Structure 1
């Protein structure tokens, strides 16, 4: 069986709609953060998710050394912030200065107005191809009922109207 080419795979993945997240870490190794669409749940027992980070990122060691990270799901209002954490601002302090952050009991910082913030303990980090996979056990969750998620599709941000307050009740 032949395998797909890198270009075929990248083009196909561009057709998969994904939420845009800013993934942060804070600890003895320092404060860092990057924009990611490669994030998903793994299991709910225990609550666990995974995030992928390109190995070329100079921040990989920060996440591993701090042993914790926070996944902040962005809203439509965070397009500019997503760009900053994707590298439009190289200075980490300038990235953080562009938004309001809340200190979590774990030591992580959460985006104050994120739709959801998943506070995670790094359970495992492993290299796969060009990326590191971070598996995080969720130790805390902050969420809000309003706002529209910032989504990425066809290499662009898109807006999909949703019904606010989608939690069952």
Structure 2
């Protein structure tokens, strides 16, 4: 799977299950009518539990300049969740899930379905609001390393 390049995202959620986020790359658009995405999250991840309880998420696609944000939310720095969130500025749109200021795009979603496959949950989100950042280059993860486009 490491040979399949992918954009790097920080997925956030907030609500009764807490404010939680993690770096993910297993994301895919599903349909534009209604606008729907899917993401895959390990069943044991705190993010998975938070999304299940909160039923909302925001997919924040990172620009090339945000590798430090990706590293923080991937747990590479040993930061607490509050320290991770301190690596960027945040706002909210419709669902209350944190939206990263400066993300290439942020898709604010309500969870519509969760399926299980192997070690991961496949989470479907209906996009209810968007935020478009500038067209700065993208951060890509390929061969277990970052690349900038």
Residue pair 2:72, 2:84 contacting (<8 A) in 1 also: yes
Shift of residue 145 of structure 1? Answer: 3.5
- Name whichever structure is richer in strand by fraction: 2
Of 74, 77, 80, the residue aligned with 2:68 is: 80
Aligned length: 148
Q: Greater relative contact order (Cα 8 A, min sep 6): structure 1 or 2? A: 2
Match of 1:125 in 2: 114
The 5 A counterparts of 1:63-102 are 63-88=51-76, 89-102=78-91
The answer to which of 36-45 and 102-111 deviates more is: 102-111
The 5 A counterparts of 1:37-116 are 37-88=25-76, 89-116=78-105
Structure 1 segments unaligned to the other structure (5+ residues): 1-12, 161-169
**Tell me, what secondary structure is at the counterpart of 1:157?**
strand
RMSD of aligned residue pairs (Cα, Å):
1.1
How far apart, CA to CA, are the structure 2 residues paired with 1:150 and 1:137? 24
With the length of structure 2 as denominator, give the TM-score of the two structures.
0.95
Structure 2 segments unaligned to the other structure (5+ residues): none
- Name whichever structure is richer in helix by fraction: 1
